Chains A and B, each alone.
Chain A
């Protein structure tokens, strides 16, 4: 096992799934809430972003999604600058964001429908992705009939059915109980390996980040700190596929990251 800290380094952009170059964000003419954000994410990589509240980690996701604009710099997806929201950037919300008047299958079908895919193709996509998240049995239920964990699985299936370039997850398991959360984490590892999607994952939990991510990005600053939000450090996580949160290597890395998150300045 090795823990390497690498500074955000510039590489050739064409091989990146997702790239931030000197991205900054300010609201109106106010001070910068985020500045100098540089990050490259390779195809198939899962990058977790951790940091104190208000450091702008959710804003990073929302800027990629196109829900919020960035004030300077460039965000590119497969080399193309992003602007308005689109199906190439799927978003998994903490509060699921399912359409309560649509059944589980209809929620998953919504994306493919927007693309104008034929009915048979859509049905295949729905079946395939509901199976992927283990929810084939509840396809005709409505979201309010499902537990939080199941709703979040529907939300993941709904995003993946769109075959996005990147899946953006904003504290997706934050509202779930501990047991469900652990199950979801191990399922997510499996799902993203079988699908090969690039994932950008924002979380409060350092353990969750170490458990899931190929790299952990630590953000700091933010408007309340008086300095723009920025990346403090990036850790590579080289713990292999089956990670044991009780192992020495795991807890060492967790402690290191925790120190960085809580360090001042």
Chain B
């Protein structure tokens, strides 16, 4: 997902958070940590394998017999990336789908950020803007993106634009709320200081409120980016042909469960850096 980072930071580049104490450092992988990271995934694989072999029935009515074994999924994954193992339209062709998904998630996210950040700042600072928009936002925000999908299909039509629109919706509100909360909490002292130094009110939005809100804006962007990626499958259920979500949907149609699970695993792994 690093391809998206420049778009994300471009929104707030005028205000690098230089004053922020260094972000909590990522855990370094010590040998001990590496050793502790292994047992749980291995146990899951073993249990999965046993469950399929002995046709376990789990709560929720999960019938393990329906699933492919881990090794079948592993072979499918290898085939998706390198080809030559499972003949079919997806063999060795996964890169195209990953790229299409990244571009869609990236466009939807960038669009959402470009609108949510300035609008969020206004919303956080102006009582009348809040009073104007808050009722609408409060009603629209809880509508899940899945509920938008049928409407988008009819109004926008099948294709890229529907998918990007749905990703946009998923990412927009968390970024809006986070930005406006940050903008509302800018210390009044900084605005007073800017005012007594002769800064015009509209300039204070850009030169004081925006930089002072950078930590909140960034956490909103992060949440938004994660959601954009997570809701990609929903966006790509709207009848596009390429993309990880489209691949998963195709796997359902043709009952290739190993294809579905491979798609899920790829989405999960690509989402880790987010």
Q: A85 to B196: give the CA distance in the assembly, Å.
A: 5
Docked complex: B1-34 residues within 8 A CB-CB of A:
15-19
Q: A89 on the interface (CB 8 Å rule)?
A: yes
Give 1 or 0 for each of A73-113: 1 = CB within 8 Å of chain B CB.
Answer: 00000000000111101110101011111000000001100
Given the known A-B contacts A99-B190, A101-B15, are A85 and B208 also in contact in the complex, defined by CB atoms under 8 Å? no
Q: Establish whether residues A85 and B192, one from each chain, have CB atoms under 8 Å apart when the complex forms.
A: yes
* Contacting residues, chain B, for A86 (C-beta < 8 A): 196, 198
Given the known A-B contacts A97-B189, A97-B190, are A91 and B196 also in contact in the complex, defined by CB atoms under 8 Å? yes
Q: Establish whether residues A115 and B198, one from each chain, have CB atoms under 8 Å apart when the complex forms.
A: yes
Q: A66 on the interface (CB 8 Å rule)?
A: yes
Q: A217 on the interface (CB 8 Å rule)?
A: no
Q: A101 to B18: give the CA distance in the assembly, Å.
A: 6
Q: B120 on the interface (CB 8 Å rule)?
A: no
Q: A101 to B196: give the CA distance in the assembly, Å.
A: 18
Nearest CB in chain A: distance from B9 CB, A: 15
Choose one: A111, A115, A142, A159; the contact of B19 (CB below 8 Å). Answer: A142
Q: A205 to B267: give the CA distance in the assembly, Å.
A: 64
* Contacting residues, chain A, for B45 (C-beta < 8 A): none
Give 1 or 0 for each of B171-193: 1 = CB within 8 Å of chain A CB.
Answer: 00000000000000000011011
* Contacting residues, chain B, for A89 (C-beta < 8 A): 196
* Contacting residues, chain A, for B136 (C-beta < 8 A): none
Q: Establish whether residues A144 and B19, one from each chain, have CB atoms under 8 Å apart when the complex forms.
A: yes
* Contacting residues, chain B, for A115 (C-beta < 8 A): 198
Q: A158 to B211: give the CA distance in the assembly, Å.
A: 19
Docked complex: B190-249 residues within 8 A CB-CB of A:
190, 192-200, 203, 208, 211-212, 214
Count of chain A residues near B, Cβ 8 A = 27
Nearest CB in chain A: distance from B62 CB, A: 52
* Contacting residues, chain B, for A95 (C-beta < 8 A): 189
* Contacting residues, chain B, for A162 (C-beta < 8 A): 197-198
Q: How large is the interface on B (under 10, 10 to 19, 20 to 34, 35 or more residues)?
A: 20 to 34
* Contacting residues, chain A, for B192 (C-beta < 8 A): 65, 67, 85, 91, 93, 97
Most buried by A among B16, B192, B197: B197
* Contacting residues, chain B, for A84 (C-beta < 8 A): 195
Q: A9 on the interface (CB 8 Å rule)?
A: no
Q: Establish whether residues B193 and A97, one from each chain, have CB atoms under 8 Å apart when the complex forms.
A: yes
Q: A81 to B104: give the CA distance in the assembly, Å.
A: 58
Nearest CB in chain B: distance from A174 CB, A: 14
* Contacting residues, chain B, for A87 (C-beta < 8 A): 196-198
Q: A158 to B197: give the CA distance in the assembly, Å.
A: 8
Most buried by B among A95, A100, A143, A159: A100
Given the known A-B contacts A95-B189, A101-B16, A144-B19, are A114 and B195 also in contact in the complex, defined by CB atoms under 8 Å? no
**Which 4 pairs of residues, A with B, have the shortest CB-CB distance?**
A87-B198, A100-B19, A85-B195, A97-B193
B interface with A by C-beta (< 8 Å): 15-19, 189-190, 192-200, 203, 208, 211-212, 214
27 contacts between A and B (CB under 8 A): A65-B196, A66-B195, A67-B196, A85-B196, A86-B196, A86-B198, A87-B197, A89-B196, A90-B196, A91-B193, A91-B196, A93-B189, A95-B189, A97-B189, A97-B190, A99-B190, A99-B193, A99-B194, A101-B16, A101-B19, A110-B197, A110-B199, A111-B197, A114-B198, A114-B199, A159-B197, A162-B198
Given contacts A85-B192, A90-B197, 6 further A-B contacts (CB under 8 A): A86-B198, A87-B198, A99-B190, A142-B19, A144-B19, A162-B198
